[in-house]
Amino acid sequence: MLKLIGKFIRGQHDWAEGFFHKGGKLERLYPLYEAHDTFLFTPGETTKGSTHVRDAIDLKRMMSIVVVALIPCIFMALYNTGFQANLIYATALEKMQEQQGASFDLEAAKQTLRLTPPEDATTSDYLVRLVTGNKSLPNWRMLVLDYFDFDWTDAGTFSGNFLSPGHLLKSLLHGALFFFPVWFVGLAAGGLCEAFFAIVRRHEINEGFLVTSTLFPLTLPADIPLWQVALGIIFGVVVGKEIFGGTGKNFLNPALTARAFLYFNNAPYISGDNVWTAVDGYSGATGLGALAVKGTGGDVAATLGSLQGSVAGQVIDKPLYWWDAFVGNMHGSMGETSTLACLIGAVILIASGIGSWRIMAGTVIGMAGFSFLLSQVSTDTAIYAATPLWHLVLGGFAFGAVFMATDPVSASMTETGKWIYGFLIGFMTVVVRALNPGYAEGIMLAILFANCCAPLIDYFVVQANISRRLARNAA
């Protein structure tokens, strides 16, 4: 049956192909046909000349492997986003019950936390909330969860959720309502930009936008407005890549360019203490944000162990321990919280030969070396005292080192240059985190800075090799 369906689709494609080739009525739209055809079927074309290069991997396969390597991070984006929200709601309800005792009214408490969809809410209210992220409007996600009769009083535990299908599915469902809209908008906006430039330049649509549009949502807070997502990905694809000639000619990582644009253009949506947890009205600092506050002293464990958040007048303890940060049980960007998931992705990228282990290792060495030196400095700010192990698991360091820094287009090309490039990223990450109190995270700016330096690094490495060979031959 599947073969018959495949043959039918193949026949329809073959019939329509003539319209898109040179001289056809839809000649200008050939990139759209080619992208659809090669997505469904293996290309049947072969080289016509006498010389060509045969390789076991092409751009499509490379991008597909990167997406596969991102699956653990996507899973954690779904699971942890939903779990953190469910846990905050469950804890707030529990505290309300403790305070009110026998007079506790569950339905009234749920309305206080805005868990119950208002009866007078209209479809336009939900649509406006979806697009703009206006938190004064009803949350459309609660309408979906109310349909599934969500039990908000039982969030379980982080480790127990993996063992309990009920808790696991609750977290995944809630997280999916945040992640997938952002992902779909990124794919649509990025894909339209790629298609537009492919049609104008009359070349095939490159699959790079699939990776860019998957990486970008993973670096964002859960409840970011969708118009911000579209604006960011358009800027990243157009300004970060297409104006330089498209895939393979850009010197900046498009996903990081998009995120940097949002940060500097609309900081309230992507920074501060109010955006990192998918709960309306919740405020709580991330680990890096807490460490960057002056007066926290040199006791990192105590600072992170005393973290708190608040929602609807309820103070909720949210201590952060190293193992939780390593696994990903903490607030932050949707797909950056789990160092464990990033390490699984690193193994896939290194084993497939796509990600450079030299860049990853250089990034860790640069971070570890400079953060160790800073930890020896006596100061009243805890971020200085943070050891390399803490820098490794906090923020988006692991995600940036594995998936962003290793971008084969914007990174250094030479083997020696990869070590220098990676070291520069690690060093600059700690510089931004520790020496710039206004910006707790540092990996994003560090990678963009290194992207700009990569051609210069490779130039000096090549010149050094030339000088060494000339000196050896002269002798």
**Which amino acid is it at 393?**
V
**Which amino acid is it at 215?**
L
Burial category of 336 from C-beta neighbours within 10 Å (exposed 0-12, middle 13-18, buried 19 and up): buried
The arrangement of strands across the sheet holding 314-317 comes to 283-284, 308-311, 314-317
Domain ranges of the chain: 13-41, 70-100+108-284, 285-471
pLDDT in tens, the chain (475 residues): 656 666 666 666 555 665 565 666 555 555 655 655 555 555 656 666 665 555 555 666 777 888 899 999 999 999 999 999 999 999 999 999 999 988 989 899 999 999 988 888 889 999 999 888 888 899 999 999 988 888 888 888 887 766 677 788 899 999 999 999 999 999 999 888 888 887 777 777 777 778 888 999 999 999 899 999 999 999 999 988 888 887 777 888 899 999 999 988 888 888 888 888 999 989 988 888 888 887 777 888 889 999 999 998 899 998 999 999 999 999 999 999 999 999 999 999 999 988 999 999 999 999 999 999 998 887 888 888 899 999 999 999 999 999 999 988 889 999 999 999 999 999 999 999 988 766 778 899 999 999 999 999 999 999 999 998 888 887 6
At residue 271, φ and ψ (nearest 5 deg) are: -150, 170
**Predicted TM-score of the model (pTM):** 0.88
At residue 309, φ and ψ (nearest 5 deg) are: -135, 170
**Contact between 334 and 77 (Cβ < 8 Å):** yes
CB half-sphere exposure, 399, CA atoms < 13 A: 35
Quickly count: other Cβ atoms within 10 Å of residue 152's Cβ: 20
CB half-sphere exposure, 432, CA atoms < 13 A: 19
Structure tokens at 261: 């644009």
**Contact between 407 and 354 (Cβ < 8 Å):** no
- 366: closest CA among 409, 406, 426? 426
- Spatial separation of the C-alpha atoms in residues 215 and 237, rounded to whole Å: 12
Q: Where are the alpha helices (DSSP H) in 266-354?
A: 287-291, 300-305, 322-327, 339-352
